[in-house]
Amino acid sequence: MDAISVIRAKRDRQELTGEQIDWVIDAYTRGAVADEQMSALAMAVYLNGMTRAEISRWTAAMIASGERMDFAALARPTADKHSTGGVGDKITLPLAPLVAACGAAVPQLSGRGLGHTGGTLDKLESVPGWRASLTNPEMMRVLDEVGSVICAAGDGLAPADKRLYALRDVTATVESLPLIASSIMSKKIAEGTGALVLDVKAGSGAFMKNVEDARELATAMVELGTDHGVRTVALLTDMNTPLGLTAGNALEVRESVEVLAGGGPADVVELTVALAREMLDAAGLPDADPAKALADGSAMDVWRRMVAAQGGDPDAELPRAREQHVVTAPASGVLTRLDAYAVGLSAWRLGAGRARKEDPVQAGAGIELHARPGDTVTAGAPLLTLHTDTPDAFGYAEAALEGAWDIAAPGTPHEPTPLILGRIG
């Protein structure tokens, strides 16, 4: 077996054999296949695609490159959720404790933000003392005692994917649908959860800009989960408008706590409850009522215990940015559009996100929304508040918002886009 023959086969639009896939993933992980050779293969996959059988075997090979976790010792069924990323997407924060409050165990391995999309770990690290990195025994202890854990994935899970993702990032092959699907699912399947719910977003603030592409990706990931014995469903959700009323780290934690306290923005509550119902149903708990667990405070109790179990202080004051700048509405009327990508880019420029994975983020930076599409706004009234520790960033951040909204004449009817666009499973 050699790298050139594998590259040539995919270049010539042949279906790779299982043996070819197993060999090239293992050899690349060991360093026997050079980066430039794997780059050529990734580009061939990008241009020519993969069959379902190829994607499934590719994913299995990446899983086999590392460890696979096992939660069989837990007394509860396990369920996890993955979002393809968006602006203001703080759903994991209230969702994990909510599902745990309803009887499932939630081993939520999350990541950091990059570019205009926020990262769950960055948000939670704004809680004083909270730790993202846990050993496997620590993770099991928190799951056993609390029912939910949100932490970073260890280096042992799908190390082949970690190497390949870094390579794709610098070779213009990140957008390859087979490689996206296998990258996400190899880590989630290796994680060992019994059920998985995917939140696949479509719109300006999402990775997939239209519903058709999001549906194709969701279908591929559901098929991968099914092929590997994990009960998997996907919701297609809108990401043309930011979720909730905040985009940033500590800002989103505050909003998540409001949801757990029985309040919060309606769209965040709607999506949190919808995903919780899917997770509980997939875990074999279809009669559990997540709306009740939000209302009676049991989800908040799990949140506080989960934060404390990972070293955080649930009562501590969250960081606030030193500087604020208010962006006012230029006219009176009905806000009909607020672009998610522009808001995410602006929050990133304020310090809430990073350009490279090693860059720091500001805990208090971000954007607060004072209106959403469908709301009536008044000329000169606050539309957005920008938060940062570096006031020199205000001009740069405000430039990202140019053309980010539309305001129609007063009284103009507004038909909102549904938040949940479809379901695959």
Polymer length in residues for the chain: 425
Q: Rounded to an integer, what distance in angstroms lies between the CA atom of residue 49 and that of residue 14?
A: 10
Q: Is the CB of residue 388 less than 8 Å from the CB of residue 265?
A: no
- Looking at residue 361, its amino acid is V
Annotated catalytic sites, by residue?
82, 161, 168, 183, 187
Q: Biggest alpha carbon distance in the chain?
A: 69
Question: What is the sign, positive or negative, of the torsion defined by CA atoms of 33, 37, 43, 48?
Answer: negative
Per residue in 94-131, pLDDT (tens digit) is 999 999 999 999 999 998 887 788 899 999 999 999 99
- Looking at residue 397, its amino acid is A
Q: Is the CB of residue 325 less than 8 Å from the CB of residue 365?
A: no
Q: Is the CB of residue 361 less than 8 Å from the CB of residue 113?
A: yes
Per residue in 316-343, pLDDT (tens digit) is 999 999 999 999 999 999 999 999 999 9
- Ordered by where they begin, the domains of the chain are 3-49 (1.20.970.10), 80-309 (3.40.1030.10), 323-408 (3.90.1170.30)
Q: pTM for this structure?
A: 0.94
Q: Rounded to an integer, what distance in angstroms lies between the CA atom of residue 105 and that of residue 97?
A: 9
317 exposed, middle or buried (CB, 10 Å; 0-12, 13-18, 19+)? exposed
Per residue in 153-192, pLDDT (tens digit) is 888 899 999 899 889 988 989 889 999 999 999 999 999 9
Q: What distances in angstroms separate CA 398 from CA 104, 304, 342, 350, 395, one per listed residue?
A: 43, 36, 10, 9, 5
